[in-house]
Chains A and B, each alone.
Chain A
Amino acid sequence: MSPLQDAARQLRTSIRAATAGLVGRDQLAELIVLAAVAQEHLLVVGPPGTGKSAVVRRVAQALGGRYFEYLLGRFTEPSELFGPVDLRKLREGSVETDVTGMLPQAEVAFLDEVFLGSTAILNTLLGVLNERRFRRGHTQLDCPLRVCVGAANALPEDEALAAFGDRFLLHTFVEPVADHQLEALLAGGWAAEQAPLPAGGALQQLDLLSQQLKHVQLDAARPALAQAIRLLRQAGIALSDRRIVKAQRLVAAAAVLAGRLQAGQADLWPLLYVLPTQQAQHSAREVLRELLAAASHPHLFAAVEEASQQPLSRAARLAEAARGWLAAEAGAAPAEALLREIDANFTAATLPPELAALRAQLGERLALAG
């Protein structure tokens, strides 16, 4: 296994530890890691109480980076995010900010209700997000920020705020957990509260992958990416040139997270998250159906599945779940649920060989248990 593949695998283990018990939130954890490797930021739109902050906190814990979290309000002062003015330096005539333990020192940040920030806050944030540079008064610092996750109940209608929202390259929309998952939510939520937070240490792997981004060969992916943009335009779904160009970072990040330095059509799926609105993402799934049919990823199952919503993308998740059950054999019900989901998604003719083998093993073990 190459160092790149090893780092990608370890990062996957960290994501899994971070989302243990958080029902239906794997996708969010995977997108945080994708954004961090691409050195971009993620905007999460959805109602409160959907576990957004819990996921970011646990991913940050798994990465082991310095974490900063804040719930913004209309009256939030810049000092609450960036730190207070250093009084000692002020006496000497210089306006400097004491950033100890504040956003400029964070490696992972979560800003809830991010659009409620004042103009002063958003302007300073722009520098931190875009250039990873904090400027305030006489203070000018490089920021170690890997990823900022912004959250909001809805996308802003105000143009200036929309422009700020555009700085988050990835947009994702979370819903409350579906009815059929309520039992799992209750059981998982209870277990997650008791379980210790995952041990950190994955930041090193993340940085290693991030550094490889510039070496990724995009030649094989570019024609398909251009074709995808053409199809989106034909369907009336516009993307700014900036977002189109930056989408390549996500495609490259998907490749390195799969342990590869060559990106191909299978890595196009992050493009869906570059579309800024839920409606555009919904329409794009249909428009890009053929192009995304090849979408797959050995580690980011949930994010790929949500993007393409096609059987091949489900196969990887089902295979991992099957391997997990076969290793642990934790009760018959999950195995039966897995077999049901496999058979509800694949016929004998369409079942990928690896999943077919796992299905057979599950069936045998279940028969023995029954």
Chain B
Amino acid sequence: MNPPPLLAAAAAGGWRWRAREAQQRPRAAVAWGREVSRQLLQRLGRLPATQQASLSATAGGELLVVTGEAAELPWVEGVAYAAPCAEAPQLWLPLLSEPELPADLIARALQQRFGRAPLLLWPAPLAVVPLDRQLPVGPALLARVAQQWRQPR
């Protein structure tokens, strides 16, 4: 799939991100990169079963996104936090940066392109992550993610 025009425009410098102060409580822990995502997976494995059960997760090759209430979200070095955007709740953004474009327009553009919601838009690496197929965190899911990451690609 070609990158959506919105991301292509961002990659070409058509629009930028700007820093913002955290206005909301975090609702997702986002680990990018091989090392941080593996550490977060290990951390999830050490959480008490009740805390695991209050979280959901989605994983990619070098990405792990864990969603839940702020008080339940795990921390590891290098993890970042995200939350739904106040103006467009179907669009999740990092807590500490935001696009310079109006969030509701971005949400609509991404929705049209992907046909899924909610979507997490991330600046570095520039990416869109669908959050509609999150699975409850538990030993079975953690084992499956670990196995997928072990498989050669």
Contacts and interface: CB of A to CB of B under 8 A. Distances in A.
- Report the contact-size class of chain A (Cβ under 8 Å from the partner): 10 to 19
A343 B74 contact: no
A364 to B, nearest CB: 10
Contacts of B71: 180, 183, 337
B19 interface: yes
Task: From B75, B80, B81, name the one whose CB has the most chain A CB atoms within 10 angstroms.
Answer: B75
A183 B50 CA distance: 14
A272 B27 CA distance: 30
If over half of A's interface residues share one DSSP class (helix, strand or loop), that class is named, otherwise mixed; here it is helix
Interface in A318-370: 336-337, 339-340, 343-347, 350, 363, 370
Given A180-B71, A340-B26, A344-B26, A363 B77 contact: yes
B88 interface: no
B152 to A, nearest CB: 29
Contacts of A370: 43, 46
Interface string B101-137: 0000000000000000000000000000000000000
B19 A350 contact: yes
Task: From A183, A340, A370, name the one whose CB has the most chain B CB atoms within 10 angstroms.
Answer: A340
B96 A347 contact: yes
A201 interface: no
A344 B25 CA distance: 8
A343 B75 contact: yes
A346 B95 CA distance: 9
A71 B82 CA distance: 45
Contacts of A337: 71
Given A180-B25, A370-B46, A340 B75 contact: yes
Given A336-B75, A350-B19, A370-B46, A343 B70 contact: no
B21 interface: yes
B74 A336 contact: yes
A340 B73 contact: yes
B22 interface: yes
A24 interface: no
A275 B64 CA distance: 45
B79 interface: yes
A311 interface: yes
B22 A345 contact: yes
A97 B82 CA distance: 63
A210 interface: no
A310 interface: yes
Given A180-B25, A180-B70, A340 B96 contact: no
Contacts of B25: 180, 344
A183 to B, nearest CB: 8
Contact of B75 (A183, A339, A350): A339
B21 A344 contact: no
B62 interface: no
A343 B46 contact: no
A310 B20 CA distance: 11
Given A340-B70, A345-B95, 18 more contacts: A180-B25, A180-B71, A310-B21, A311-B21, A336-B74, A337-B71, A340-B26, A340-B29, A340-B73, A343-B79, A343-B80, A343-B81, A344-B25, A344-B70, A345-B96, A346-B96, A347-B96, A350-B19
Closest 4 CB pairs of A and B: A339-B75, A340-B75, A344-B81, A344-B26
Interface of A: 180, 183, 310-311, 336-337, 339-340, 343-347, 350, 363, 370
17 contacts: A180-B25, A180-B69, A180-B70, A183-B71, A310-B21, A311-B22, A339-B75, A340-B26, A340-B73, A340-B81, A344-B26, A344-B95, A345-B96, A346-B96, A347-B96, A350-B19, A370-B46
